[in-house]
Amino acid sequence: PGYGIGGHKGYPTPVHLEALARLGPTPIHRRSFAPVRAAHEARAGMILGATLSSSIGLLQD
């Protein structure tokens, strides 16, 4: 839900790419596809950044 796959069958339309950036990839997305890989890496970086920020905050308390 949210990717509009029913309307474009997974082809990289602007709507699909925006949803990929906003929602991140699902298990059915091909990691070999550059936009999927980039979204996955960006999401992993955001999670890592949030974890580090949380850890630093705990250390400062």
The predicted structure's pLDDT at residue 6: 75
Q: Two tokens at 17?
A: 């790419």
Under 8 Å between Cβ of 13 and 4: yes
CA distance 28 to 25: 8
Q: Two tokens at 57?
A: 């905050």
pLDDT digits (tens, 9 = 90+) for 25-52: 888 877 888 888 888 888 776 665 555 5
Count of positions (residues) in the chain: 61
